[in-house]
Amino acid sequence: MHGRQVLIHSRFEAMTKGNALLKELRTMLQSSADPERKIGQERYFKGTIRSHGIPMPVVLKIGRTFLNKMKPASKTEIFEICEDLWKSGNFEESIIACHWSRYPKKEYARADMKIFERWVRNYIGNWASCDTFCNHTVAMLLEKFPDQLVVLKKWARSNNRWMRRAAAVSLIVPAHKGLFLEHVLEIATILLEDKDDMVQKGYGWMLKVAWDAHPGDLYAFITTHKDRMPRTALRYAIEKWPPAQRAIAMR
């Protein structure tokens, strides 16, 4: 075969293998479904998910099993399968997509931020998928390409509540490492008076985590802005403060 024919043939084989594994994965998820747990899980998430009711350790184990079956797979192949998982609208499949998208982290490129943005905008509809995806996959890309932090400022101004939450929770792990303080405070400023409790909890959590590495900066920021912060965000943000300081902040 000529080079182009080889490429097309390899691509076809990869798609065929991916489709077969995806079908097998979905069959296993369906066979692990628990109808009673499904009802409780969907009630807990207040109707924002459609699930099989599978315990998370089981979901993660199934995900690891099928990821191993896919190896070796390119970043493109992994991302295409992740897209199919996201499109399903199923909670367990979305969690597997979150974890699989970390696998090719060494191959991440700046352009992948556009893919991740599309997934957040089009497919994320609950805090668990948002946090699982952004805490790790998005955070890994941002640490590798800090110039992409500018994208989070756009997310923070979105009409989509999950994009606004994603702008904050994508900085949780970097903030824990003491990174990107300037961006943490800028995102918090944009989201400061947000009316959505999911967003308030997200940026409050981000400020709480950033406190460990930068207590002075966080104390100054929060005491300056606490009268404008919703109580939910403030409670999250000062959770690690000494009791006396916390009491003063909550007055």
Cβ neighbors of 216 (< 8 A, separation 6 or more) are none
- Give the model's pLDDT for residue 160: 97
The region of weakest confidence among 19-28, 123-132, 159-168 is 19-28
Helix axes 161-169, 149-156, angle to 10 degrees: 140
Cβ neighbors of 73 (< 8 A, separation 6 or more) are 14, 18
The region of weakest confidence among 28-37, 43-52, 120-129 is 43-52
The region of weakest confidence among 2-6, 117-121, 177-181, 231-235 is 2-6
- Give the model's pLDDT for residue 12: 37
202-240 pLDDT, tens digit each: 999 999 999 999 999 999 999 999 999 999 999 999 999
Q: What is the pTM of this model?
A: 0.90
Q: Please, which residues bridge with residue 90 across strands?
A: 50
Q: What b/e readout covers 111-120, taking b as 16+ CB neighbours within 10 angstroms?
A: ebbebbbebb
**CA dihedral angle for residue 199, residue 200, residue 206, residue 207, rounded to 10 degrees:** 150
- Give the model's pLDDT for residue 9: 38
157-183 pLDDT, tens digit each: 999 999 999 999 999 999 999 999 999
- Residue 72: phi, psi to the nearest 5? -80, 140
